[in-house]
Structure 1
Amino acid sequence: METLAQDLKAAVQTLTEDTRFCHALAYVKDRLPETIRDQKELTLIEAPTGHEEKKARRYMQMLEEAGLTDVVMDEHFNVFGKVTGSANSGKSVLLEGHLDTVFSFGDVKEIREDEEGRLHCPGICDDTRALAANLAVLRALKDAGLKPVHDIYFAGTVREEGLGGMQGMAWVLDELKEKTELLATLSIDGPSGETFYANATGIVDWEVTFEGPGGHAWTACERPSAIHAAALAIAEMTKIKVPTDPKTTFTVSLIEGGQAIHGIAQKATFKINARSNSQEELNRLDDEFIRAFEAGAEAENPKDSCSGRISVTYRKILDVPAGSQPDNARIIQLTKLATLAVGREPNFLPGGCTNTNMAIARNIPAVTLGRGGEEYGTHTLNEWFNPKDVFCCEQKSLILLGVIAGIEGTLKPLGETL
């Protein structure tokens, strides 16, 4: 049987036995239809990565209407504000979800409800559900008259998906650094009411381009080929060994090149996706990749320079840091206790690439909670969400916020101990 910290157990018990706090827990359950209404409205405001402004402006209004103060929108269209704590301590905890989706403009047309009550629409889960859930948490705190000891920040972040690379979260953390001491961050992303992530799988994407003189496939046959050089580099990369623990992977995911079927390729480009639960392994892969890129060009280049040469250029187009927290970290223990307190069995998954990566990279205790219920087809046009009993997500968030920030008159904050 896993041993969890007694002070964290006692704190969760204190909150779940407190009359006012129980009112907040009941609020998010009873007002679930209102939360789903917000989720539907926000889903229909399309927000491809890099185009979040319209959704951000509406979310800003909703946060203000729910009672959040000092709400700001930064130059990137991140939106954040705070519930001011009673201690004026300059310390805080952040609860966030991301505004962007993976879909293009025109993909979102309508929300269809099926006979089982499931809501079908691209983006209905990832991550619009988080935005609505966090609004419900804010309203519950206000309705129950709960005042935190430390500040609580709420945020909608941009550029989480794809090549956005969690940049929105990085910007928010850097901006808040000037305003407050963040004790922890809580993100809502991923499926189910049991699952959570508290470690960071790093991602590096490379774009590699080979260029040469090209020429006629017959009459200029002595000239080097950009495609051949790219293929030689890729063949060299296949010799790279990666560990299974920490899990590390890479693949050449895209390749294109050439200008004519009867021509020697003047240009070839490929892209690589590499991932690892270890930053050290990602750094090693970077070095191995560069060696392979250079080797591919050199192997294709002729000894006689008169026929022209292949050049290679390469750049990172995405660089998301990897990191980890100990399996017995107090933020992980607290998340397990909060999950148990709402009647779910915690499922702590290894790795994970979410906005939590950016907090872990800054040595801030962090966790990403699942959105609360059954869902299917995220990142596809067949995405659907079942709203049945998803309020456990909001309830877990309330408990975590309460323990970390403290509740005036009920519980002293434990955020400093994480």
Structure 2
Amino acid sequence: MTTAFDKDLELIFQKLTSDRQVKQALDFFKQDAPNTIAQQKELVVIEAPTFQEKQRSLHYAQMLKAAGLQDVTIDEKFNVYGKIYGSGKTGKSVLLEGHLDTVFSFGTVTDVIEKDGKLYAPGICDDTRALAANLSVIRALVNSGLRPHHDIMIAGTAAEEGLGAMSGMKYLVNNKAEEILAAISIDGPSNDVMYFNATGMINYDVTYTGPGGHAYLAFGTPSAVQAMGRAIAALSDMQVPETPKTTFTVSLANGGQAIHGIAQSANFKINMRSDSAEVLAQMEQQALAIFQQGADAENARWQKPGAVKVTFSKIMDVPAGSQSENCRMVQAAKLATLACGITPQPRLGGCTNSNMPIAVGIPAVTLGRGGAEYGTHTVDEWFDPAGVYVCEQKSLLLLLALAGLTDVTAAPQL
């Protein structure tokens, strides 16, 4: 971990952690932890599959208002957000968000089981914990009387998971790009992990179709499954760099209609990722050529040009982006973590809602939810809230550092 920090940033955190009101606000999180856990349990049973977040969004809006957030708004994507207005009336904001959706379908979550100090429920961690934590941050700001210089925006965002492709955060950031100075996402495990780079991700759906026929009588007819196999074999031979980290996999494949039939159709899906937007674009172009080559090679083998055809569509496109580990946003996130007695553990890659602000040049980090957790994205998911309030403490300190605290610290240039 980089240990050198800009002196002005170190001074900001020294002033914040020495301020009486800030200390009171940090202590408040320990007292408020039972309320936060109760709200986490309340939210997790309001199921919110990706693209179906309406009910949770409506409920969260009421919780945000009750915590003291002003001008709470639900947009057309069912993002919900509001503000704590700054004394500077600058019209600029620092964003703190967690995502509303989970990976589970309706009917998966019926209740929360408490056992041995742990909370068991699918989605109890990812990312319901963040939503509850951010409510506590609002209460701490309102109850302590702390007045930021710039506005603070708190949001629950939609469609982060799966094919949602972080589209809720993308919509929010694109519509507020001129306003948002910096963004903090709460996602991922533990109190020490942080993500400051944006691993890009592209998914394609690829389909081969052909005339098919009887396996014996129509022998010599090009096969959709064999065309798919040729493409998959060629894709598996693609060479990608170790640095920046770049990956790919054919994740799903199926085809054919009968064991004794030449396949009329076949389909596969491929996932490609890279920490570099340029490398990801190059890999995408290589893959597109291979999709067609699979059909061409199968048709050439049987001397039947055009018999098998291929169609494909991009079903996910998450932008890549990077920030230096020495950039001031990352320095500030590390200082906030250290101020809470935690040694930060930065991750070089990561695919989180921070991708969207980073992609448009807005400084951003993703901080862990705190506590201990197990089985994220499985029905065995559990959460242990011991010491979890450190998450809220980090969020508060980083928000105040970036937004500035009236009569205590000025907002830094990032």
Residues 306-325 of structure 1, C-alpha deviation per residue, up to 9 Å, x if partnerless?
78611111111101111110
Residue number in structure 1 paired with 2:406: 408
Cα distance in 1 between the residues matched to 2:390 and 2:338: 10
Give how far 1:21 is off: 1.1
Question: How far off is 1:181 after superposition?
Answer: 2.1
Mapped contact 2:221–2:304 kept (Cα < 8 A): no
Provide the rounded CA distance (Å) in 2 between the counterparts of 1:304 and 1:189.
Answer: 52
Quote the offset at 1:16 in angstroms: 0.8
The answer (yes or no) to whether the contact 1:211–1:310 under 8 Å persists in 2 is yes
Instruction: State the partner residue of 2:209.
Output: 211
Q: CA deviation at 1:148?
A: 1.0
CA distance in 1, matches of 2:203, 2:268: 11
Please say if 1:152 is aligned against 2:161.
no
Aligned to 1:3: 4
Whether the aligned pair in 2 keeps the contact of 1:97 and 1:189 (CA below 8 Å) is yes
Q: Distance in 2 between matches of 1:125 and 1:79?
A: 19
In the TM superposition, residue 373 of structure 1 has moved relative to its aligned partner by 1.5
Alpha-carbon distance in structure 2 between the residues aligned to 1:277 and 1:307: 39
In the other structure, the counterpart of 1:62 is 63
* Distance of aligned partners of 1:361 and 1:147 in 2 relative to their CA distance in 1, 3 Å threshold: same
| Poorly superposed stretches of 4+, deviation over 3 Å | 302-308
Alpha-carbon distance in structure 2 between the residues aligned to 1:408 and 1:377? 42
Q: Find the counterpart in structure 2 of residue 363 from structure 1.
A: 361
Contact 1:302 1:309 in 2 (8 A): no
2:169 aligned partner, one-letter code: M
Deviation at 1:69, TM superposition (A): 1.0
Which residue matches 2:196?
198
Q: Distance in 1 between matches of 2:122 and 2:304?
A: 55
Structure 2, unmatched stretches of 5+, are none
Q: Quickly say closer, same or farther: Cα 1:145–1:307, change in 2 above 3 A.
A: closer
| CA distance, structure 2, for counterparts of residue 339 and residue 304 of structure 1 | 63
User: Residues 27 and 303 from structure 1, CA distance in 2 versus in 1: closer, same or farther, beyond 3 angstroms?
Assistant: closer
Matches for 1:18-167 after TM superposition, within 5 Å? 18-115=19-116, 117-167=117-167
Structure-to-structure mapping, 1:320-331, within 5 angstroms: 320-331=318-329
Gaps of 5+ in 1: none
Amino acid of the structure 1 residue aligned with 2:86: G
Q: Cα deviations across residues 179-203 of structure 1 (Å, max 9, x unaligned)?
A: x521100000001111110101111
Residue of structure 1 equivalent to 2:286: 288
Amino acid corresponding to residue 367 of structure 1 in structure 2: V
Listed one character per residue, the Cα deviations across residues 140-185 of structure 1 (whole Å, up to 9, x for unaligned) are: 00000011110110000000001111111001112223xx521100
Do the aligned partners of 1:187 and 1:356 also contact (CA within 8 Å) in 2? yes
Alpha-carbon RMSD? 1.3
Partners of 2:304 and 2:52 lie apart in 1 by: 49
Q: Is the 8 A contact 1:222 1:307 kept in 2?
A: no
- Number of matched residues? 413
Question: Which residue number corresponds to residue 391 of structure 1?
Answer: 389
Q: Please give the alpha-carbon distance, in whole angstroms, between the structure 1 residues aligned to 2:289 and 2:175.
A: 37
Matches within 5 A, 1:309-388: 309-388=307-386
Question: Quick one: percent identity of the two aligned structures?
Answer: 55
Is this contact kept in 2: 1:223–1:308, CA < 8 A? Answer: no
Contact 1:223 1:302 in 2 (8 A): no
Letter in 1 for 2:96: L
Q: Which residue of 1 aligns with 2:186?
A: 188
TM score, norm. by length of structure 1: 0.97
State the distance in 1 between where 2:69 and 2:357 align: 23
Q: Tell me the residue number matched to 2:237.
A: 239
> 1:305 deviation in Å?
6.8
Secondary structure of the 2:26 match is helix
Does structure 2 conserve the Cα–Cα contact (< 8 Å) formed by 1:200 and 1:323? yes
Give the secondary structure class of the aligned counterpart of 1:148: coil
State how far apart, in whole Å, the 2-side matches of 1:121 and 1:241 are: 41
Q: Decide whether the 8 Å contact of 1:196 with 1:349 is kept in 2.
A: yes
